[in-house]
Amino acid sequence: MTQRSTIDLTQLRSMTAEDLGAAHALSVEVNWPHRPDDWRLVHEIGEGIVAADEGGRVMGSAMWWPFGPDLATIGMVIVSPRLQGQGTGRRMMRELFARAGARTIRLVATAAGQRLYESEGFRATTAIAQYQGLASAGATVRDARVRPAGEADRPGIAALDREASGGDRSRMLAALARVGSVEVLEDGGRIRGYSVCRPFGRGHVIGPLVARDATEAVALASPHMRAHAGTFLRADTPEAEGAFVDFMEASGLGNADRVVQMTRGPAPATGPAQVFTLANQALG
Ligand SMILES: CC(C)(COP(=O)(O)OP(=O)(O)OC[C@H]1O[C@@H](n2cnc3c(N)ncnc32)[C@H](O)[C@@H]1OP(=O)(O)O)[C@@H](O)C(=O)NCCC(=O)NCCS
């Protein structure tokens, strides 16, 4: 394997706010749609490392987000194409494992990353379909139980999210609520579903969306679909078929890619509330 025999001279160090410009340039280099603001947001709610070459230039990035004592996600794992295949990706992953401690780790793997993650003990759990396109409002529904969320809904949203995701994502949810709009489905005096829509990449993303079933997921996605009709909208979903997928297709969003969610460590107990869309592929 002469291609991999080059000695990797990069140094790993913690990512700081000053690195975000270089990290954004890396993501552009591998054709990811993230804007500088998307990097700032994920950095605000998590921690990262960068791999720097002898001249101090950032050649790699990797981030992790702790969701309480038992769960974390990893994402934004990028090695500059000029340095790929020399062990940097694996070294960054192992550094993050050390930081995450005993937590179960989840990530969403691109085709490029899957072999690396499998060899580090991750197993594929769920296929994730990336839907995107110019949204239309024609298939939306109106459900009287759905309304914009207020400050007082925060604890109910966080508790429901914990049931669906298996971790404490309240810090992430607070950050997403600052930049996006949040809808809740309230039934019998309790929050039974919520959805967030925020600017991301080429337009807006609907996610997370947590609901009890696909019909309620459609009701929670509908206000966002109406608000962004005629513009670029994205949603990453573990749903392979059914009413929610039918709704996205009828709303102008097509399946652009399929990736795989992977887990390292025991899967946390979840349910009955379900994750219908991810915050994005990095955050989970
Ligand atoms: C995925 C990525 C981060 C891996 O980084 P890297 O520094 O190239 O990876 P490493 O050199 O540490 O290699 C780790 C493993 O990946 C696999 N791998 C690396 N280069 C490969 C190549 N050219 N073809 C196929 N598999 C390859 C191998 O399994 C390798 O293990 P081995 O060397 O023991 O055989 C990098 O390819 C990348 O940035 N890709 C684009 C962005 C992306 O998709 N990121 C993943 C997001 S989940």
Angle between helices 36-44 and 20-29 (to 10 degrees): 120
Domains and their CATH numbers in the chain: 2-102 (3.40.630.30), 130-258+267-277 (3.40.630.30)
Q: Rounded to an integer, what distance in angstroms lies between the CA atom of residue 217 and that of residue 209?
A: 7
Overall residue count recorded for the chain in this entry: 284
> Could you identify the atom of ligand 1 that is nearest to the CA of residue 113?
1
The secondary structure of 143-205, three-state, reads CCCEEECCHHHHHHHHHHHHHHHCCCCHHHHHHHHHHCEEEEEEECCEEEEEEEEEEECCEEE
- Other beta carbons within 10 Å of 78: 26
User: Is the minimum distance from the CB of 89 to ligand 1 under 6 angstroms?
Assistant: yes
Per-residue pLDDT at 9? 75
Cα 77 to ligand 1 centroid, rounded to whole Å: 10
- How many Cα atoms within 13 Å fall on the side-chain side of residue 67? 25
- Residue of the CA atom closest to atom 18 of ligand 1: 85
Q: Is 94 in the pocket of ligand 1 (CB under 6 A)?
A: no
Bond preceding residue 69 cis, omega within 30 of 0: no
> Rounded to whole angstroms, how far apart are CA atoms 185 and 143?
9
Q: Supply the DSSP string of 235-281, one letter for each residue.
A: EEES--SSHHHHHHHHTT-EEEEEEEEEEESPPPP--SSEEEE-S-T
Q: Which helix (H) or strand (E) holds 214?
A: helix 214-227
* Separation in Å, CA 118 to CA 21, 227, 233, 263: 30, 40, 31, 10
- 56: which 2 tokens? 């101090």
pLDDT confidence of residue 2: 42
Is the CB of 6 within 6 Å of ligand 1?
A: no
Nearest residue (CA) to ligand 1, atom 25: 112
The residue assigned the tokens 């914990």 is: 162
Residues 48, 23 contacting (CB under 8 angstroms): yes
Q: Is the CB of 71 under 6 A from ligand 1?
A: no
284 in ligand 1 pocket by Cβ < 6 Å?
no
Q: Is the CB of 85 under 6 A from ligand 1?
A: yes
What pLDDT score was predicted for residue 4?
52
Asked whether the beta carbons of 19 and 50 are under 8 A apart, the reply is yes
Ligand 1 proximity of 116 Cβ (cutoff 6 Å): yes
| CA 37 – ligand 1 centroid, Å | 26
In this prediction, residue 6 carries a pLDDT of 59
Residue having the nearest C-alpha atom to atom 36 of ligand 1: 79
The model scores a pTM over 0.85: yes
Nearest residue (by CA) to ligand 1, atom 15, is: 116
Residue 84 CA, closest ligand 1 atom number: 8
Residues of the chain with pLDDT under 50: 1-2, 5
